[in-house]
Amino acid sequence: MPNTTASPHGTTVLPVTRREIFAWAMFDFANSGYTTVVLTAVFNAYFVGVVAGNGPDHDGTATLLWTLATGIANLLVLLSAPVVGAIADHGGKKKLFLLISSAGCVLFTALLAQVGPGDVFLGMVLLIFSAFMFHTGEDLIAGFLPEIAGARDMGRVSGYGWSLGYLGGMLVLGLCLVYVTVAQARGDGAGFRSSFLKRGQGVLDVARHGVRHVKGLGFEMEGHLYGEPRIENEIEQGKVEREFGPRIVGNIDEVSNGVR
């Protein structure tokens, strides 16, 4: 049975279907492989042990370079998230921004396949851009939660996304590790590198499937997912414009409180 939620502006939105909730949760399923494959297990080890080093990182230099790259990406997200969120809410551009960030994450993740031994600068740049796009997309998808779940259901719906995210992340990690193991057994030294290309292609395939069939596998294209809510009474433009500045300030305050 569809649920009716209230928009952040206090107006009534049309009922939310289970398919839309499933679509929102499946974005994490498709996206979480980035954290397990790139940030946690596969590319992390490849960068430290092969790209920026030659075996165990005894002096910690390769690990420092990895930490520096991820730190820069996180700093960029910290600085841009309040502004990006305010612009997306103000102009109803969450759908567009989410599409751009997802496509960017796919592109830069696939390009990690070009990083070989000694390509430290290239690897760091691609890691920074891919991580920035990934985290920006995570911020944008989270912005839809108040539009698809009421206060009482928000924790439960959020839990759906987390659980499917863990499932998707572990599934992609397992598949990549199997591929890398088989490739190395065959003497294919590019097994690590091509796994990143396959990871990017996999996310893109999921996105294409959702857009083409409108079945909710990551990109539900109807209703108020990936766009402004389906509000029955339109918001006056003047009111939205007056709220634009305070939204940026409010977003910055939320980020600052989170850091503290």
pLDDT at position 41: 86
> With a cut of 70, which residues of the chain have pLDDT below it?
1-14, 188-260
pLDDT at 223: 37
Q: What is the predicted pLDDT for the residue at 176?
A: 85
Cβ neighbour number for residue 159 with a 10 Å cutoff: 11
pLDDT at 3: 55
pLDDT digits (tens, 9 = 90+) for 6-36: 555 444 455 778 888 888 888 889 889 999 9
Q: Which amino acid, one-letter code, is at 186?
A: R
Give CA–CA dist 136/209, Å, rounded.
22
List the domains of the chain with CATH numbers. 18-259 (1.20.1250.20)
**Whole-number pLDDT of residue 16:** 79
Q: What is the pLDDT of residue 246?
A: 54
Residues with Cβ < 8 Å from 20, sequence gap 6 or more? 148, 216, 220, 222, 223, 224, 225
Q: Quote the pLDDT of residue 229.
A: 43
Can you tell me the distance from the alpha carbon of 192 to that of 195, in angstroms, rounded to the nearest whole number?
A: 5
Does the pTM of the predicted model rise above 0.75?
no
Question: CA 99, CA 211: separation in Å to the nearest integer?
Answer: 11
pLDDT of residue 129: 97
pLDDT attached to residue 227: 41
Please give the span between the terminal C-alpha atoms of the chain, in angstroms, as a whole number. Answer: 41
Q: What is the pLDDT of residue 258?
A: 46
What is residue 233's predicted lDDT score, i.e. its pLDDT?
37
* Packed helices 191-213 and 154-185: angle between N→C axes, nearest 10 degrees: 140
